[in-house]
Amino acid sequence: MSSLLITNGHLVTLDENDRFIENGSVFIDGHRIADVGDFPPDTYEADRVIDARGSLVMPGLINAHHHLYSTFARGFTPPGAPARNFEETLRNLWWKLDAALDSEDVYYSALLAVMHAARAGCTTIIDHHASPSCCDGSLDQVERAFRDVGLSGCLCYEVSDRNREGEGIEENERYIRKCHAAEDEQMAAMFGLHALMTLGTRTLDRCADIGNSLDAGFHVHAAEDEIDVKVTMERYGRRIMDRFLDFAIPGPRTIFVHGVHFGSRELDLLRSTDSMLVNAPESNMNNGLSVAPVLDMLKHGVTVGVGTDGMSSHLISQARAMYLHQRTYHRDPTVAFGEACEILLKNNRRICNRLFREPRGALATGQLADIVIPDYVPFTPLDAGTFYGHLLFGLSFARVRTTIARGRVIVEDGSLPHLDEEAIRARCGERAPRIWARIH
């Protein structure tokens, strides 16, 4: 194992005491942080020393919900008339795009997006994948991208009945078993589900039986749009959370995504089952959806996280969007500032640490060595009382100089030196038009 010493940093530890340490150092031994503080640089002999040059040093960010397969949608206009609602957006764009991907497309779409995530200071991604034309083994291709870049990932396959009944069940089961048997902890697995509007009773029965028998949490879209609520009520006479409870889907390792149309009682059920909920504000805005009741979710005691939902791999911009979204919705300039920051920095950590055995999200002894050094030397006071302002209005626009994932330097001076980025981008540029040509 190699060792690494970071010196001369303005440390934002996010530890249990929320320490801010000027001119601080971090010593990394292998995958883990061994020491954090203002100790003299010669305290440890390290294989490599990185001088932070007064910049911020903080834990790597965590993305609580992504769709890496959406990478090749950038700039694409689906054929036919523009979508008029959320259901048409799914049918005309996303379900056609995911069906057009082959195995190598899956790898390259994940590779490019994980690279972007690393360059944006993200070190762990919880992803939700779909590629019906190459379902079997597809999660191995996504994992391949994570290992090539060096980030940690929690993967699942999106089960639905939209192409064939129960599609993706076997891929989830196979990959969960693979992760359970793995010798390292870089990758984790959940059991993926699309949404109740595309899941029949037999499929839900099978998913619940297999997922719960493997002690895997579920990663599922819920109440993103009125259509999900409407279809569930028409078919089963049940609200969404009641329907999921019928199949023992909720629980402390389950993530519900969006929750835009959850009512007060459903939020109580989320809290009482200790389930997690992740919102993606930019995605909701992009799809013309209602504003999620994030502040109400928090008041109900729900563990709320934030993700990018395939819109990008830049997390601070999501927290910023959440903050602005809530203020506009409530027409109140006093709300959501601290809440959005804590959702990103603290709740995403709580969610992640339920799914991975290696703790992360703080600069503290024993934590996974996931660390970011942005090109950001504060020119106004930075402490516990001002950091959130620096986060949303400074770091949101700052270039990441160095990203360290699992104790390894992944991004150095803004680039990924262990990858041929030019060749990867050229290969992606060749694949994208071929994918678009398959979509009719």
The CATH number for 248's domain is: 3.20.20.140
Longest dimension (CA), the chain: 68
Give the predicted TM-score (pTM) of the model: 0.97
DSSP percent split of the chain into helix, strand, coil, nearest 5: 40, 20, 35
- Name the E strands within 367-419: 371-374, 400-405, 408-412
Shared-domain flag, residues 30 and 67:
no
Instruction: Give the residue-averaged pLDDT of 243-261.
Output: 98
Q: Please report the pLDDT score of residue 420 as a whole number.
A: 97
Residue bearing the bigger pLDDT, 56 or 1: 56
Between CA 63 and CA 271 the distance in angstroms is: 21
Q: Is residue 417 part of a domain?
A: no
Single out the residue in 355, 381, 402 at which a domain terminates.
355
Instruction: Give the residue-averaged pLDDT of 358-383.
Output: 96
Neighbouring residues of 232: CB distance < 8 A, sequence distance ≥ 6: 196, 197, 238, 239, 240, 243
Shared-domain flag, residues 246 and 346:
yes
Q: Is residue 165 part of a domain?
A: yes
Shared-domain flag, residues 8 and 79:
no
pLDDT tens readout for residues 91-143: 999 999 999 999 999 999 999 999 999 999 999 999 999 999 999 999 999 99
* 368 — pLDDT class (breaks 50, 70, 90): very high
Sheet order of strands, 152-155 included: 61-66, 122-127, 152-155, 187-189
Kind and range of the H or E run holding 250: none
Q: What 3-state class would DSSP assign to 185?
A: coil
Secondary structure, 3-state, 45-111: CCCEEEECCCCEEEECEEEEEECHHHHHHCCCCCCCCCCCCHHHHHHHHHHHHHHHCCHHHHHHHHH
Residue range(s) defining the domain that contains residue 373: 3-60+360-412
Judged against a pLDDT cut of 90, whether residue 440 lies above it is answered with no
Residue found by looking up tokens 């996280």 in the block: 305
Task: Note whether 126 and 219 are within 8 A (CB).
Answer: yes
Overall domain count for the chain: 2
Q: Please report the pLDDT score of residue 80 as a whole number.
A: 87
